[in-house]
Amino acid sequence: MKFSDESVANTLADVIGCLEALDVQVVLDNSTQGLLEGEPPTVPTSVIGETCDLAVVIGGDGTLLSAARSLVNHDVPIVGINRGRLGFLVDVSPDGGLEELIQIVKGQYIEEHRAMLRTRILRDGECVADSFAFNDTVIRVRDLLQIMDFDVIIDDVLVTHQRADGLIIATPSGSTAYSLSNGGPIVGPTIDALVVQPICPHTLTSRSLMVDAESTIRVHLWDDDVAKAQVVCDGQIYMDAMLGDMIEVKRNANRVRLLHPENYDYHRILREKLNWG
């Protein structure tokens, strides 16, 4: 949960009371320890994944991204209660007596299965770093005044050589995040595709690609010693790469299970969050 905001602690107390009134046994992630007096027991996130039937995330979309990476291989459904700003993913209102949460616990919900990325940095054939990503994997230069050279290889076929500030590889969920700000397409969450998009390419002919979600995308960093490379997952996980490394990105075998209120509609969310009318 996002515990830098006082309102989150108040919402946490409300959620605990709501769930306990429904005879739901509550445990908290140990990062919340001491946040409330007389709180339920706290356990590591890994234990939540192994033992719990439902994960309730309180905060913004970024909080849900972190939870999704932790829980993706545990098949635990996630409900997001919005205490952030945008709320593309955390769509349960904390107001109104948490009626939407109550209905979800009672089995009245819409379930979505969202794609996750698995990213590995390969150096001389060995994996030196890896991470999941719910929204996107971004390969970029640490010195933002420099440019990087790289090859994009999809399913063992060289597709393009780029000179650019970096590359975004986004899931459909991530198509409304950094990729959108970079001029990329919006991809509905049920579309089986990934977005491959250069960042500020030094050419007039470069375009975003939508590729099959089963594709394996490899990015080879040219060993020219000009810029230091970094791989960033969901804007939260930072992994240093060396020029000459191969970054491999593919869809994870397991998906994230999101539970929404029964009135959830993806296109309505787009209209409201992007101020389309």
Query: Class for domain 6-114+255-273, per CATH?
Result: alpha beta
* Angle (nearest 5°) at CA 253 between 251 and 254: 110
In terms of pLDDT, which residue wins out, 256 or 37?
256
The radius of gyration of the chain's CA atoms, rounded to the nearest angstrom, is: 20
- Reported in sequence order, the residue ranges of the chain that DSSP labels E, i.e. its strands, are 28-29, 42-43, 55-59, 78-82, 110-114, 117-123, 126-133, 136-141, 148-154, 157-164, 166-170, 193-199, 209-212, 216-221, 229-233, 237-241, 246-251, 256-260
Residues 123-152 have pLDDT tens digits of 999 999 999 999 999 999 887 788 899 999
What is the CATH topology of the domain spanning 117-251?
Answer: Tumour Suppressor Smad4 (2.60.200)
pLDDT of residue 95: 81
Higher-confidence residue: 34 or 243? 243
Query: For residues 194 and 169, is the Cβ–Cβ distance under 8 A?
Result: yes
Q: Is 61 a catalytic residue?
A: yes
156 vs 147: which has the higher pLDDT: 156
Q: For 196-235, how does the pLDDT look when each residue is reduced to its tens digit (9 = 90+)? A: 999 999 998 999 999 999 999 999 998 666 558 999 999 9
The kind and range of the H/E element at 49 are helix 45-51
Q: What is the pLDDT of residue 163?
A: 93
Tens digit of each residue's pLDDT (9 = 90 or more) over 84-116: 777 889 999 888 789 999 999 999 999 999 999
Question: Residues forming the annotated binding site for NAD(+)?
Answer: 61-62, 135-136, 163, 165, 176-181, 236
- pLDDT-derived band at 30 (thresholds 50, 70, 90) equals confident
What's the confidence (pLDDT) of residue 46?
77
Query: What are the sequence ranges of the domains in the chain?
Result: 6-114+255-273, 117-251
**Residue from 29, 61, 91, 234 carrying the catalytic annotation:** 61
- Tell me what pLDDT residue 4 has: 54
Query: How confident is the model at residue 16, as a pLDDT?
Result: 94
Q: How far apart are CA 277 and CA 275, in angstroms?
A: 6
How high is the pLDDT of residue 103? 96
Band of pLDDT at residue 5, cut at 50, 70 and 90: low
